[in-house]
Amino acid sequence: ERPALEQLVRALGIQGLVELTGTLDARSAQERMARASVMALPSVRESLGAVYLEAMSLGVPALGTRGEGIEEHIDHGASGILVPPDDDEALLVELRALAVDPDRAQRIGQAGRRRFLAGPFSWRANVQSYLALFEELARGRASR
């Protein structure tokens, strides 16, 4: 996709605003995300994109799409931002609102971080969930 993206950047005349980094290792990606003003992924095919949770864990405001998996973890306007699917105007309105009010963006980012830390996202919580599922499945098979 790089050649197509480079062509689009040139066509839009935004070369000074866009950096196409190429592949980044996990640490570099996390460092860049931590410096971001917002992480926007208005996808319409995400069961639960880990990138939302990564942004929330770093205190970066996460913007996602209503009707997708992240909606269960974001309280719109409090711990993140949600927009309707395929609504470019709503997306632009929300991105502009965050840009003109960095204090609000910071509050949302910090609330997202608190939500992440309080949620079921730790390795321990994941292991416990899987163990409970495996035990339930094992009981179901044993009773049949």
pLDDT of residue 81: 97
pLDDT of residue 120: 80
Beta strand residue intervals within the chain, DSSP E:
39-40, 62-65, 81-83
Cβ atoms of 81 and 108 within 8 Å: the answer is yes
Contact 105, 94 (CB under 8 A): no
What is the Cα–Cα distance from 135 to 80, expressed in whole angstroms?
Answer: 34
- As a residue count, the chain comes to 144
The reported pTM is 0.78
Is there a contact between 33 and 59 (Cβ–Cβ < 8 Å)? no
Query: pLDDT averaged over the chain?
Result: 90
> pLDDT per residue over 95-132, tens digit each?
999 999 999 999 999 999 999 998 887 778 778 888 98
pLDDT tens-place string over residues 19-62? 999 999 999 999 999 999 999 999 887 777 789 999 999 999 99
DSSP letter at 63 equals E
